[in-house]
Amino acid sequence: MRPKTKPGQIRIDLHTHTCISDGTDTPAELVANAARLGVGVVGLCDHDTNDGWDEAIEAGQSLGVRVLRGIEISCELDRVPIHLLGYGTRKDDPELAAELARNRAGRSQRVPTMLAKLAAHDMPVSEEVLYRHVGDSPSVGRPHFADAMVELGYVIDRREAFDKWLGDGLPIYVGRYSTSLEQGLELVQAAGGVTVVAHPWGRASRDCLPPEYLASLVRAGVLDGIEVDHNDHDRPTRARLRKLANSVGALVTGSSDYHGVGKQDHDLGCNTTSAAVLTEIDRRVETRGGLL
């Protein structure tokens, strides 16, 4: 459901994806949809890549939508996946670019094994079908496998593919390289960016991101913010996270984690971030020499 907006109030959605990673909109389509829905600012945070920035920004200049440069880095802590959002990083930072490339390579390297596992479970998927769904993305993600499985009639939708086959520890899952959370935090800030941990208590990451640990990262100055308002967090979880963030001075963000038609119940603009928080993100990026 689209939230109500007061006259003159800008709607800010700081976590969205396009077909450059595992969304279904092109960067230009994402911005056009934001304009249509009255979302004035979108954070484009494709997984481990910033290849969609230029197209989105160009579209935003035409349609009056600001595109905040972002990435979602695939991190891990104690072998548990953690997603880290970075805003305003310099595109040409060599250390960050190299680490993002390493994450993307980890996805591509597991493709043959995953295809073999699918065939062993009587669900053969050809490379031709798989890469048709990969499209312009610089790496192959599990959602692309899910889309291929949907096309071939093995599952109804991405959710069924992940719930039965592709999710962590399930029959088709294959592990891959991910950046350590500590390194990810350091790389983003060194590249001029602002760090926000994505949906920290919505998935398996909750157990390894207890309040005291998140607080310690904020107090150490390596974590700038926490994505509180996210559809993977129920109301009590949001309340606890908001209280935690406020107690340690962390930025509180809200976003849709929009993937186009590739993710259900994550409508563009369903959760938003305050203008004051965006202003502070901009200030920190400018201070650190990042890109606005």
Q: Which residue has the higher pLDDT, 102 or 168?
A: 102
Residue 172 domain-assigned?
Answer: no
Please tell me whether residues 159 and 99 are part of one structural domain: no
Please tell me whether residues 181 and 232 are part of one structural domain: yes
Domain of 125: which CATH number?
A: 1.10.150.650
- What is the CB-side half-sphere exposure of residue 149 using CA atoms within 13 A? 27
Residue 214 domain-assigned?
Answer: yes
Provide mean pLDDT across the span 170-183. 96
Please tell me whether residues 194 and 59 are part of one structural domain: yes
Please tell me whether residues 86 and 188 are part of one structural domain: yes
Q: Residue 136's pLDDT is what?
A: 83
Give yes or no for a contact between 17 and 45, defined as CB atoms under 8 angstroms apart.
Answer: yes
Please tell me whether residues 143 and 209 are part of one structural domain: no
Q: Taking 50 as the threshold, does the pLDDT of residue 166 lie above it? A: yes
Residue 36 domain-assigned?
Answer: yes
Q: For 192-220, what is the HEC assignment?
A: CCEEEECCCCCCHHHHHCCHHHHHHHHHC
Overall number of domains in the chain: 2
Burial class (CB in 10 A: 0-12, 13-18, 19+), 265: exposed
Q: Which residue has the tokens 């390579």?
A: 105
Residue type, 128: E
Q: How far apart are CA 56 and CA 63, in angstroms?
A: 10
Q: How far apart are CA 172 and CA 187, in angstroms?
A: 31
Residue 24 domain-assigned?
Answer: yes
> pLDDT band at residue 265, thresholds of 50, 70 and 90?
confident
Please tell me whether residues 53 and 72 are part of one structural domain: yes
Residue type, 6: K
Please tell me whether residues 159 and 218 are part of one structural domain: no
| Sequence-distant contacts of 108-111: CB under 8 A, at least 24 apart | 108/139, 108/140, 109/176, 110/174, 110/175, 110/176, 111/140
Q: Residue 8's pLDDT is what?
A: 56
Summarised one tens digit per residue, pLDDT across range 217-235 is 999 999 999 999 999 999 9
- Rounded to the nearest integer, the mean pLDDT of the chain is 94
Domain that holds residue 161: 111-166
Please tell me whether residues 234 and 156 are part of one structural domain: no
Q: Which residue has the higher pLDDT, 133 or 1?
A: 133
Q: Residue 203's pLDDT is what?
A: 76
Please tell me whether residues 226 and 124 are part of one structural domain: no
Residue 2 domain-assigned?
Answer: no
Residue 154 domain-assigned?
Answer: yes
Residue type, 76: E
Provide mean pLDDT across the span 22-46. 97
Summarised one tens digit per residue, pLDDT across range 119-153 is 999 999 999 999 999 988 888 999 999 999 999 99
> pLDDT band at residue 1, thresholds of 50, 70 and 90?
very low
Q: Residue 263's pLDDT is what?
A: 76
Q: Residue 264's pLDDT is what?
A: 74
Q: Residue 95's pLDDT is what?
A: 98
Q: Taking 50 as the threshold, does the pLDDT of residue 284 lie above it? A: yes
